[in-house]
Amino acid sequence: MNSLIVPADKSSRMFPVVSKPVVIPAAGKGSRMLPITAIVPKEGTFVLTKINGHYRNDFLVNHVLNSCIDCGLLDVVIIAGYQKGSLQDIVCMVGPEETRDAEFVVQNQSFGWGLGKAIEAAEKAVKHYAGDDFVVWLGDNIFDNTDSIKDMIYSADDYFAKILVLKTDRPSFYGVVKFDSDFNGSNGLITDIFEKPDVNEREPYAVDGFYYGVAGVYVFSKKIFDYLKRIKPGKGGEFQLTDAIKLGIDCGERVCCYVHDGERYDFGTWVDYNNYQARFWSEVYKNPVLLDKLNEDQMSLMLKLKGGF
């Protein structure tokens, strides 16, 4: 059976279900994971992960959806690209029960518009919901635990944006932030954000030899859409979400970052994918009972998906 991180019975949840919608961008072409992404979207690949101490063998998008559910986020808007059909089949047929009615918005990324345009495409869907803010959770980002994400979502502070970050020594792989002088090591206001700095650009963002990189989960005020419409193509010729955040900071908006206390599994490249799969499967192979269960779960999901056609 398809094992969920939380039970389907919403009355048994140990956390509040929040009214914030969550936007999951999954419209990218996945060029770093060709050739498989020529057939299925990256979020439709099968991966083994370990979240909150439990191994899960499932489609990548279902891992993200389960983590959203664990955080009380049940209203889902998925930004899909040219392979919308296969992703929608996975979510609606074998995804978590709580999110099978997810809303899909198609956004053509053939021109390499970038994350900024993908988020902007969600404006109409997001504005249907009451409240001023919403969550963005990148479709290829999984975390070993959701504690810091819950802290960020449930904090009562009024910010233009709240951003999950992680400590890294590879700043060129991330948007990096600069904290103000009151940073306490776990959260704080930032004064600047910069997309993937090269060796000549990174020094102002260093903290004791390390950097704080954007980890792929955000809480935004709906004002972010106004700033997204004002930015121009940035790093890589794409419309960068970090540029819209920086524009907000420059206009006096308050942005707070929360440091993730744990691991982030980024399945954006074959190197990362293979490294994580080798690590997790080597752990699972030491437990034959768990191995059989995970294989049965995978076969069950595939049969359910096949039966839907």
Count Cβ atoms within 10 A of the Cβ of residue 223 and give its class: 0-12 exposed, 13-18 middle, 19 or more buried.
Answer: middle
Per the model's pLDDT, the better-predicted residue between 65 and 27 turns out to be: 65
- CB count within 10 Å of CB 254 equals 15
- Amino acid, single-letter form, for residue 55: Y
Structure token digits, residue 57: 């063998």
Percent of the chain at pLDDT exceeding 90 = 44
Is residue 185 domain-shared with residue 115, that is, in the same domain? no
Range of the domain at 89: 1-6+17-154+269-290
Q: Which helix (H) or strand (E) holds 241?
A: helix 241-250
Structure token digits, residue 230: 């004002």
Is residue 24 domain-shared with residue 121, that is, in the same domain? yes
Is residue 60 domain-shared with residue 109, that is, in the same domain? yes
Is residue 194 domain-shared with residue 237, that is, in the same domain? yes
> CA-CA distance, 249 to 244, in Å (whole number)?
9
> What's this model's pTM, rounded to 2 decimal places?
0.88
**pLDDT of 9 above 60:** no
Residue 16: band (very low, low, confident or very high) from pLDDT cuts 50, 70, 90: low
pLDDT at 18: 59
Structure token digits, residue 172: 């060129």
Q: What is the mean pLDDT of residues 246-253?
A: 96
Q: What is the mean pLDDT of residues 284-309?
A: 83
- Backbone Cα Rg of the chain: 19
Helix (H, G, I), strand (E, B) or coil at 232: coil
298 domain residue, yes or no = no
Q: What CATH number has the domain bearing residue 134?
A: 3.90.550.10
Of 42, 85, 1, 90, nearest in space to 305 by CA? 90
> CA-CA distance, 256 to 252, in Å (whole number)?
13
Is residue 126 domain-shared with residue 71, that is, in the same domain? yes
Is residue 118 domain-shared with residue 171, that is, in the same domain? no
CB 287 within 8 A of CB 191: no
Is residue 123 domain-shared with residue 249, that is, in the same domain? no
Structure token digits, residue 83: 């392979």
